[in-house]
Amino acid sequence: MGGSGTAAADEQEAPEQREQAQESSQEAAQERAQNDAADSEESRGDAREESTTVKYGPWTIPAADDGHEDEEGADAAGGLPGWPGNGDDEGDGHAHHGQEGGIEFNVDKPCEDCFITGFTPKMTYADDGTDAHVNEGPMLHHYVIFNSGARDAVCPGSERKLSSGNERVPSDLPEGYGIKIDERERWSLNYDLMNMDPAEAKDVNIEIDFTYVPASKAGDMKPLTPLWLDVGGCFGSEYDAPEGDSTESATWTSDVSGDLVYARGHLHHAGHSLWAENTTRGTELCHIEAEEGGSPEFIDMEGHGQISDMPPCSGDLGRIEEGDVLETSARYVIEGHSHDDVMGIMIGYLAED
């Protein structure tokens, strides 16, 4: 009698289970379809967008132990307010690297009247265009692009538009925003390149893949103001980091108001993290954890991992009002020695009111 009741119950539950399974399968299929649609939409991108690659160079980086200091080059650049210097890091194994750096004026822009919506930095070999990475010697220590005719929002001098170090992290700005490029705007390039290979010099270019929307198609796209937030302050980006766990900070009182929608960062070898806070409002705007040696091309010829990723912050990062105090901090964790001339830089992009 009890066995018969159990069988009947099982027969009743079976259709219910099948129905639940069908519903679950349908929900999973709908979710996959939605994800596929989202992926398809993302792959299409903004239909207004165009793309181009701008190449700077070529330059020859001397072999290691054959570096040079040109008074027109990286050391001269380091002497200008707000310009990164040559990053001669005696404490991190780069003391005898080959080096090429300097400032070039009136360099090419990706477009004449447009909004930059994304950019991907690269360093390539001049002869065949393949990627040049530190595992073979060349290192993109940093580059900075300036708008020579505009005032910087944070420090005296020309506006610092965009930059990258060897991490070469791609940037895709939030939808509806762009870095405005005017037709009469003039760009300058501050660059610093290194070579760890003692056997041969390296001929390289800096290349940047840009996506942009022409101003004629931009509609209500909002322009972004770059905020160069530097723990070195306004008169030099480098500082010396001691052995062990240390944090360096600097503050800036904002004279602009708006919404911060994007931020990217730059640290040197042994950099752990970088963050910016609005201390007036008690909010953290962006926190970036660095990755070292994430893939073989970011491990140098001596086996040291170099910064391979610093994921940007994107979206509604926080409100900034005129008079707010922003504090930027860089943390380094260094074993066995100190590092000279490290950096901690966050570039935020603000949609001003």
Q: Is it the case that residue 145 has pLDDT exceeding 80?
A: yes
Distance, CA of 141 to CA of 179 (rounded, Å): 24
Q: How many domains does the chain have?
A: 1
6's enclosing H/E stretch is helix 2-44
| Residue 55: half-sphere exposure toward Cβ, Cα within 13 Å | 11
Task: Tell me how long the chain is.
Answer: 353
Fill in the DSSP letter of residue 296.
G
For residues 108 and 187, the answer to whether their CB atoms sit within 8 Å is yes
Q: What is the pLDDT of residue 95?
A: 55
Distance, CA of 88 to CA of 136 (rounded, Å): 19
Tokens of 173: 């700005």
Tokens of 318: 């926080």
3-state SS assignment for residue 91? helix
Each residue's pLDDT tens digit, 51-105: 999 999 999 999 998 544 443 344 333 333 444 544 444 344 455 899 999 999 9
Can you say how many angstroms the Cα of residue 254 is from the centroid of all Cα atoms in its chain?
22
The mean per-residue pLDDT over the stretch 178-202 comes to 97
Residues 6+ apart with CB under 8 A from 180: 114, 115, 215, 223, 224
pLDDT, greater one: 73 or 151? 151
3-state SS assignment for residue 76? helix
Q: What percent of the chain has pLDDT over 90?
A: 77
**pLDDT level of residue 172 (50, 70, 90 thresholds):** very high
Q: What is the pLDDT of residue 144?
A: 98
Distances (CA, A) of 106 to 8, 155, 160, 165, 327: 85, 21, 14, 21, 33
Residue 27: inside a domain: no
**pLDDT level of residue 109 (50, 70, 90 thresholds):** very high
Q: What is the pLDDT of residue 43?
A: 41
Residue 319: inside a domain: yes
Q: What is the pLDDT of residue 47?
A: 85
The string of DSSP letters for 9-61 reads HHHHHHHHHHHHHHHHHHHHHHHHHHHHHHHHHHHH--TT-EEEEEEEEEEEE
Q: Is it the case that residue 28 has pLDDT exceeding 80?
A: no
**pLDDT level of residue 214 (50, 70, 90 thresholds):** very high
Each residue's pLDDT tens digit, 226-261: 999 999 999 899 999 999 999 999 999 999 999 999
The pLDDT mean for the chain works out to: 86
Q: What is the pLDDT of residue 78?
A: 38
Start-to-end Cα distance in the chain: 79
Q: Is it the case that residue 35 has pLDDT exceeding 80?
A: no
Q: Is it the case that residue 13 has pLDDT exceeding 90?
A: no
Residue 23: inside a domain: no
Domain containing 108 equals: 50-352
3-state SS assignment for residue 273? strand
The mean per-residue pLDDT over the stretch 129-155 comes to 97
The string of DSSP letters for 176-217 reads TEEEEE-TT--EEEEEEEEE--SS--EEEEEEEEEEEEEGGG
Residue 43: inside a domain: no
Q: Amino acid identity, residue 173? A: L
Distance, CA of 93 to CA of 107 (rounded, Å): 32
Residue 135: inside a domain: yes
The mean per-residue pLDDT over the stretch 168-189 comes to 98
